[in-house]
Structure 1
Amino acid sequence: MVRCNAKRGCSTYTYGDYLAYGAYATNALAEVKKKWREFAKQLHDQDPTHSLRMAVSHYYNSRTAAYNGKLFQEDYITCQNRQSIGQVAIKKQNFFVQDTWQMNQNTIVSPIFRVDPSDLFGTNATFNMGLTHNIGGKANRRFKANVGTGYTEPGMGELYYSWEMYAGMPSGMGEGRLGYYWIGNPDLKPEKSVNFDIGIEGENGKTSARINIFHNRIKDYMSTYFTGEVLDFNPPETDWDKKMKWLTPPDMIYSFRNIGKAEITGLEAEVTQQFDEHWSGKLGYTYLHAINKSDPDMPKQLLDKPQHKVDIGVTYENNASLWGDYYIHMLDSNSVTNNGNYLTYDKDGNIQYGFSEKGKWGYQKKTFGLWNILFQKKYRQRLYGILRHRQSF
């Protein structure tokens, strides 16, 4: 934790001292009394309208006195919701060699070899072989296939996150929505996979289409997850604090973990139509069967992977686009069942969390859409405007 002191902009007579000895350091030890006098003088010197006797009370009680330009609540948040976990650096590079072989007039083979050296995870090599074949000798009808291996290292965030995504807040009278706090997992392992896909694509006049089938076998699949714990920066100290806790609910702690074995099998299809010289449209569909095959503590369906996804888009020249993505039957990692994202009270007035009843919560399966509008106009430079709207079902 960051130590609070005058150099860091935190009061010498701390909030803990205030809770223990009050605004006047009554019956405090000599060392504590000395800190109180130092802090009172600092407040008085910065604003002489607060007397030495009343300055600390004005700072902590009425919150009318500022210290280094900050009121008490600002200072408290800065000192308490802050952690120092040191420094870290990862040195890594990647090198690849790619070639294209023209096997005959209609067939192209593209091998890729890649090496990823890292001072944290060592050196890993991957290989991919791609094939493109013109069906019946026609360049506008193509068969494509790929087979290869994949490798993905966790980043700085997944390894070392320690940050509040957003704080909890009241969501209704006597109810608070929990915030989100992310903590990294320095024990994460890189993902390794074997990947296959085959597909057909082609064009016919103003219409183009493609369909693709793929299968990925993944070792140490990286997934986010809710730990089942909360982090409270404002723990209640009195019965009144507990009654009002819904105003400042704690944060749900999220982190990252490896799933030993996972498989993702799916189908993608897309059709694009040029209606005239100005307008074009696109319709796409994806089916996913994304499953956890080894971790009994995680859901069978991989989180944040929809079973179905539909893409719809319309474009006017290069100046405006409207497109929507519909996600169907997706386990949302951010939404916990059994009202688990909320702080509530039982009939006796005790704080309760829906997820705290072991075995009675999971992740909500959701269906929702995201609509986007993009405008682009060319003046002396390009200007962009975008609007996003989410529609849940």
Structure 2
Amino acid sequence: MNLIENIRESLRAIYGNLLRTVLTGLIIAFGIMSLIGILTAVDSMKYTLEQTFSSLGANSFDIRRKGYNNRGSQQGKVQKVYPDITYRQAAMYKSLMDDKGRVSLSSYISGATVVKSTTAKTNPNINIVAGNEYYLQNQNLNLERGRGFSTYELENGTNVAIIGKEVADNLFPKKDPLGESITFLGRHFKIVGQLEKQGGSMGGSGGDRTILIPLETGRHIPRPDNSVLNYTIKTAVFKPEDLNFVMGEATGVMRNLRQDALGQEESFEIRRSDSALESLNEISGYLKAGGFVIGFITLLGASVGLMNIMMVSVNERTREIGVRKALGATALQIRQQFLIEAIVICMLGGLVGILFGVLMGNGIAALIGEGGFIVPWIWVFVGLSICILVGMASGYYPASRASKLDPIESLRYE
């Protein structure tokens, strides 16, 4: 009995016990599905977020007040409060660094704002942002219709606005919003442009709920608490290879403008646009490791179940093994037959598990955020390799036991 004949005999045995084969294969399929599904979901979400981050450009960096996103105290310690970046500091930085890159200045004017037209109003969830002439370009925001701010509007603080897609749909569902008037923060603004639909990763849609106004206009809008505006600076260098050099120069310029003493820590933060992507890669690595562990544990349980079923199969086919040995089958050939059966069952279950795992992973990612359909070929091959290893590990002991059966005792087995 050669290897080819062994494979044929194994397939005949599998077909002869089709129901048991299907149930056993499903055990493996669920294990592989959980493994591939989790890893596919992580890869799909990571791909979506990478597209979002890469659209912001890998040749830019932001400057903000240090601790701008602090939330009170941590571990019982009150965090240090650093002074805001003032308009004078931001404007001075722009004049000094204009030849090194494209510098945009912006300030968050208001959140949870209600915006009204003559016939409708929005929910109190609209963000008002003031920006200069480079804000749209540096943030990679594109206009669907209309125009950007003119030099006159930027310099004189005219009441004009560029609105997000959701704002336009809510206030002007059946007509072109360009040239229409809207009211917010106690002022009337004329709409000169509308942003393309941004959507959002992880279910967000902040860009569609944003209204952009000229920086000079935002500076002169009274604030309810009379607080000073805090400014954010974004610098996009002309040559990506100069990024680290320009960041070093920007650090020196800002330390001087902020009067940070020698040896004192900086009162501002410089963050590269791709630093968030690096953090994302680190987090996704942990998620993959966790998903692999969960999938491995599931497969471990599946392999125990497969081994148990193969043991039952050996007991049921004891007389058959005795007949084969009496006809000249060697212990190696008997062991090969049962090993091949276990591997084929694992492969069949694995293929089904991979198919449903890819569908499940992309489905989970689609529910969380918008993204393309991904087939993680690396994990597919890993899954198939794991199926073979599980089949060998689960089938070896039953196969070894079958190969050691005494032919005389086997023929007498009832």
- TM-score of the superposition, structure 1-length normalised? 0.20
Which structure would you say has the larger Rg? Answer: 2
Larger fraction in strand: 1
Greater percentage in helix: 2
Per the normalisation by structure 2, the TM-score is: 0.19
